[in-house]
Chain A
Amino acid sequence: MTAAVQEPWALDLVEAARLIAACELAPSELVASALERLAAVEPLLHAFVSVDAERALSEARAKDSEPGGPLRGIPLAVKDIFDLAGTPTGCGSAAYAGAAPAANDAPAVTRLRAAGAIVLGKTTTHELACGVYTPPTRNPWDLDRSPGGSSGGSSAAVAAGAAMGAIGSDTGGSIRIPASHCGLVGVKPTYGRVSRAGGLVLSWSLDHVGPLARTVEDAALLLEVLAGPDSRDPTTLGRPPLPEPLLRPDDEVHGLRVGVLRDAPFAPREPDIDAALEVAVELLTGVGVEIEETSLPELELSLPAEFAIVAAEAASYHEARLARSGDAIGEDVRVLLETGLLLPASVYLGAQRTRRVVQQAVAGAFGAQRLDALLAPTVPAPAQRHDQLEYELGGASEPVIEALVRTTAPFNLAGLPAVAVPTGLGSSGFPGSVQVVARPFDEQTALRLARAVERGGAPRGMPRGLELALANPT
């Protein structure tokens, strides 16, 4: 353990919350420590678009002397597609330059604040939450690499210790991809579990909101706070409540049945990713989980369905903005929007019907093999360089966005809870990651299994690239 990890900012969220509840750590002490860390790492990472240190400290001091909720005094970050009252929502796009400050917090932020959390600031996003790079943010494990996206600022900030947790959005992998790239836990809950109101839309039918955190228990606590009905998002109404607490120290996973997905679209993949999957299988087997080999070739249909749905829905959502200020939108995103505006309705509906086929195939596998969860690589390759457009996988070149999304999008289409969890460091020096996918609204099982993987393999301590850069300033 280095000196750095004894600082309050380096505590796990759950441990910090426990210390605060026990009056062994003051919220203002914790928030001041997090802000100090943020100030040290931000010049290297560029993970934040705005930080309100004065307000954060003021709120934390007020909480020093009053009881609070489960997140009392916990410093968090919010992806800059969600409204924060008094702050413009920039969505990573010059097309939103000059936006008026939001009048209200997004409901997800309201829930975090009501639980006692302190919002330090807003984090970068790939433009319009539509991409997997998040410039100009750098990956704390290797500053020459991307943190992934679109929630790349949230993941870089949390991995670097500049925040104890964050919220992101996941339409085709935008929580799980950066979680995987940055060695974090990322939770895409079931569709309808967390309100999407007050946030930018990329796709009404595929957007999910969820937490990024350093441990499974931290992510579970954040999800407990975030989940619940909200009249502003009808998809959240009438859903089964989350069990509370979501995780207990003595939870058993013995006897659970898990289907492992190795074939396409989860292949081809790099050897490090193979190794991560095998580590997870061994860890789960070691705690009594029954592993089944599962094949779901229908998931290969996910990529065309995902891209058609996103193109059509994002184009419709942004139609007026495209006409007003399309020139301000970057070319990669703008071409997608323009394509979406010209896409025949039959293709969009074909994609939504294909989505039903994907959902039925997954449901069929759960039923036929009596599975409690699926296990798959989160992504097929470690973080890409900032300027890298293609991976070499299975002897062929593949666009980075297609490679990363083909393994995550199936579970956006199916709407199932999926938890990305880090495994040990691979030969490339990056943490591996697997995703655990459970039945609808059974986040608890996914989190229990993810914790079993984490207990055996997750890397601890701060990312190497960032620590080296901090130790050797140029």
Chain B
Amino acid sequence: MNEQLVAALAREFGVPLPDERAAQVAAQLEGQITGRGGLTGEALEGVEPAIVFEPSWAE
């Protein structure tokens, strides 16, 4: 991850990212991607995300 890539991604996604912060965002993004949110895909095999959709509603 580097600031050029982050700047390019931001442009493609329409994220208003000023050039002067591209390096900071690149560093954070690299950390987040490397961290994978905690565990690797291999370690998470068979684990469902902690997200539940509730199909009923309040009357």
Contact = CB atoms under 8 A, between A and B. Distances in A.
B9 to A, nearest CB: 5
Contact of B50 (A311, A334, A344, A355): A355
A359 B24 CA distance: 32
A356 B24 contact: no
A355 B49 contact: yes
A338 B15 contact: yes
B28 A336 contact: yes
Interface string A300-342: 0110110111010000000000110010000100111011011
A93 interface: no
Given A205-B50, A237-B58, A334-B21, A342 B15 contact: yes
Contacts of B17: 338
Contacts of A110: none
A82 interface: no
Nearest to A308: B37
A339 B29 contact: yes
Contact of B32 (A339, A355, A358): A339
A356 B44 CA distance: 10
Interface in A280-316: 301-302, 304-305, 307-309, 311
A339 B25 contact: yes
A168 B29 CA distance: 29
Q: Identify whether the interface residues of B are mostly helix, strand, loop, or mixed.
A: loop
B12 to A, nearest CB: 10
A343 interface: yes
Interface centre among A342, A343, A349, A356 (most CB of B within 10 A): A342
Nearest to B12: A342
Contacts of B25: 335, 338-339, 342
B32 A308 contact: yes
Given A304-B37, A335-B21, A356-B49, A342 B44 contact: no
B49 A352 contact: yes
Interface string B19-30: 001001100110
Contacts of A326: 16
Chain B interface residue number, banded: 20 to 34
Contact of B38 (A205, A231, A301): A301
Interface in A350-376: 350-359
Nearest to B20: A331
Interface string A229-257: 00100100100000000000000000000
A355 B33 CA distance: 16
Contacts of B48: 353, 356
B33 A341 contact: no
Contact of A353 (B49, B54, B58): B49
Nearest to A323: B16
B37 A349 contact: yes
A97 interface: no
Contacts of B6: 342
Contacts of B47: 353, 356-357
A343 B38 contact: no
Given A308-B32, A338-B17, A355-B49, A350 B57 contact: no
A467 to B, nearest CB: 41
Given A231-B58, A322-B16, A335-B21, A353 B29 contact: no
Given A234-B57, A304-B32, A353-B49, A331 B21 contact: yes
Contacts of B51: 205, 352
A237 B59 CA distance: 11
Interface string A201-244: 00001000000000000000000000000010010010000000
Interface string A428-460: 000000000000000000000000000000000
B13 A342 contact: yes
A225 to B, nearest CB: 21
Given A231-B58, A338-B10, A339-B32, A349 B38 contact: no
A352 B48 CA distance: 8
10 contacts: A304-B35, A304-B36, A307-B35, A311-B32, A323-B16, A331-B21, A336-B28, A338-B21, A342-B6, A353-B39
Interface of A: 205, 231, 234, 237, 301-302, 304-305, 307-309, 311, 322-323, 326, 331, 334-336, 338-339, 341-344, 346-359, 413
Given A304-B32, A357-B44, 13 more contacts: A304-B35, A335-B24, A335-B25, A339-B29, A342-B10, A347-B32, A347-B33, A347-B35, A347-B36, A350-B44, A353-B37, A353-B49, A357-B39
